[in-house]
Amino acid sequence: MYWSGMFHVRVLKRVIMAKQWGQKAEELEISNKVAGLGLHKKPIESTDDDTADAANPAEASLLMKIIRQGLVESKLDIEIQRKDPNSPLYSVKTFEALHLKPNLLKGVYDMGFNAPSKIQETALPTLLADPPQNMIAQSQSGTGKTAAFVLAMLSRVDPSKNYPQVLCLSPTYELAIQTGEVAARMAKFCPEIKLKYAVRGEELPKGTKITDHILIGTPGKMLDWGVKFVMFDLTKIKVFVLDEADIMIDRQGHQDQCVKIHKRLPTTCQMMFFSATYTSAVMEFAEIIVPNPIIIRLLREEESLDNIKQYYVKCKSHEDKYRAICNIYGVITIGQAIIFCHTRKTASWLSEKMSRDGHSVAVLSGELTVEQRIAVLDRFRGGLEKVLITTNVLSRGIDIEQVTLVVNFDMPMDLDRKADCESYLHRIGRTGRFGKAGIAINLIDSQQAMEICLEIEAHFGKKIKLLDIEDAEEIEKIGA
Ligand SMILES: Nc1ncnc2c1ncn2[C@@H]1O[C@H](COP(=O)(O)OP(=O)(O)OP(=O)(O)O)[C@@H](O)[C@H]1O
């Protein structure tokens, strides 16, 4: 009965979520659409010709979706896009091939990007195509998703119209600021494009009418400005981006606010949902609230966990875990490290201990003000501290190139104290970004932690090797 119970919970959750987002799930059932377009559900072994047959982007998109039904994470999704240059799903190998505005292209090159990453080459032709198409995209941490949707946002703006046309929502203050900084760098040669942060601390006098083209922020502030104080017109929004879309949909606080914004957007608004992870329930739900989405999932074998060496170390206590960290530090040269703890209390205990022993450490946890959090991150980015100790608050999105080591002081777990595989992927994704090498070390001090580690290993199908922390030679090898 456990399974059937789980099933009902899941279905119920989807129905509640669908109701909240103001959609009728049935209206969007694929079978109805297939009937409406006179198409038939294709067998799993569809070939490239299936897409070539599609007469227009809507059909192509539908067909992709149908094909995907039987082939989630199969090679077909991406191969089709590569082989049919007439399809809006065609992928590009250069930024020139995207026919960007010249000053945007200049900005991209100025950032040191020579060629698009896999998610960029796959997503951008579709995101920039006309008529605009909706997208739900998933690819591993550090693969360039931010640049993909930021480039699409900047391309869609009409700078001659002085009102917000693009909304981009992030789950945290830090991520919103980081995304805004990427957008500002990319738009360096497009001074006519105006961008504003909609985050805590940004105050506008009542009655203000916002004239900036792009708003990047957190859901609460965006809701205040758009709905409560009507400082801009939500019905004029052309592009709506949800970064870290899975938690934006799944977490109660964010969800309520996103729902209220989403409801007021025009039906013509292009929706872009991006994340490194989606549980299947969230993905199914995302497909309901995003009309006719093109869905891109980087193939499992493309997920770049390969460039992160994963280890676990057996420890007996907190003290023992601390010794393990010191041993690793004593032996290998580490750029910078992020250490994840389960609670703020452990984070501050560890930071005090490390500071007392002469390590330069910073702590970032939920109780700091947003200004303090940004200051801590800026110092860490600038290399002033080598170690950042934090909680799950920083597991997502933060991009710091020099981080070569991630330590799970405590294994990530959900409320049922089971493995939280999504958080694990996001946490270790703070290293090994954009194909660089990284190391992830899990400190295991209980049977339960070991079980979580094994569950994570099985989930991703990637070996997490035992590391003997007393064996200096072995530790040296991992740094090689
Ligand atoms: N085409 C490119 N060429 C070179 N570097 C790139 C390119 N695209 C992105 N990058 C760099 O790769 C790093 C990771 O990119 P980004 O932060 O967009 O990843 P992400 O997929 O959004 O990760 P996460 O899921 O953790 O948020 C950044 O430092 C970014 O500047």
Please indicate whether residue 163, judged by its CB atom, sits closer than 6 Å to ligand 1. no
Let me know if residue 209 belongs to a domain: yes
Please say whether the dihedral angle defined by the alpha carbons of residues 107, 113, 118 and 119, taken in this order, is positive or negative.
negative
Tell me whether residue 467 is in a domain: yes
Q: 434 CB less than 6 Å from ligand 1?
A: yes
Do 315 and 172 share a structural domain? Answer: no
From 143, 241, 272, 400, give the residue whose CB has the most ligand 1 atoms within 8 Å, as the site to mutate: 143
174 or 85: whose pLDDT is higher?
174
CA distance 171 to 152: 20
Examine residue 303 and state whether it is found in any structural domain, yes or no.
no
Instruction: Identify the CATH number of the domain in which residue 84 sits.
Output: 3.40.50.300
Identify the domain containing residue 352 by its residue range. 308-478
Q: What average pLDDT is seen over the chain?
A: 79
Kindly state whether residues 252 and 219 are assigned to the same domain.
yes
- Among the listed residues 392, 394, 474, the one whose alpha carbon sits nearest the alpha carbon of residue 439: 474
147 Cα–ligand 1 center, Å:
6
Is residue 120 lining ligand 1, measured as CB closer than 6 Å? yes
Residue 45 shares a structural domain with residue 179: yes
Cβ(432) – ligand 1 distance below 6 Å: no
At residue 94, φ and ψ (nearest 5 deg) are -130, 160
Q: Whole-angstrom Cα distance, residue 383 to residue 56?
A: 51
What CA–CA distance (Å, rounded) separates 347 from 93?
44
* Pocket lining: 147 vs ligand 1, CB cutoff 6 Å: yes
Q: Which atom of ligand 1 is least distant from the CA of 112?
A: 4
Nearest CA to ligand 1 atom 27: 397
What tens digit of pLDDT does each residue of 193-241 get? 999 999 988 999 999 999 999 999 999 999 999 999 999 999 999 999 9
- Exposure b/e, 181-217, CB count within 10 A at least 16 = b: ebbeebbebbeebbbbbbbeeeeeeeeeebebbbbbb
Domain end position, chosen among 298, 324, 342: 298
109 and 71 within one domain: yes
pLDDT at 61 over 50: no
Q: Is the pLDDT of residue 42 over 50?
A: no
- Across 283-287, 312-316, 401-405, the highest mean pLDDT is recorded for 312-316
- Do 241 and 364 lie in a common domain? no
Q: What spacing in Å lies between the alpha carbon of 461 and ligand 1's midpoint?
A: 24
State how many domains the chain has: 2
How many Å separate Cα 89 from the centre of its chain? 21
Claim to verify: residue 331 and residue 236 sit in the same structural domain: no
Tell me whether residue 253 is in a domain.
yes
Tell me what pLDDT residue 330 has: 73
> Looking at the structure, do residues 335 and 373 belong to the same domain, yes or no?
yes
Please indicate, yes or no, if residue 216 is contained in any of the structural domains: yes
Q: Is 275 in the pocket of ligand 1 (CB under 6 A)?
A: no
Last residue in a domain, options 270, 298, 326: 298
Same domain, 41 and 127: yes
Helices in 272-405 by DSSP H: which ranges? 280-289, 318-331, 344-356, 370-381
Last residue of a domain, one of 280, 298, 316: 298
- Is any atom of ligand 1 closer than 6 Å to the C-beta of 113? yes
Say if residue 271 is in the same domain as residue 131: yes
Mark whether 89 and 178 lie in a shared domain: yes
Residue 240 C-alpha to ligand 1 middle, in angstroms?
20
**Complex ipTM over 0.95:** yes
Same-domain status, 241 and 313: no
- The verdict on residue 314 lying in a domain is yes
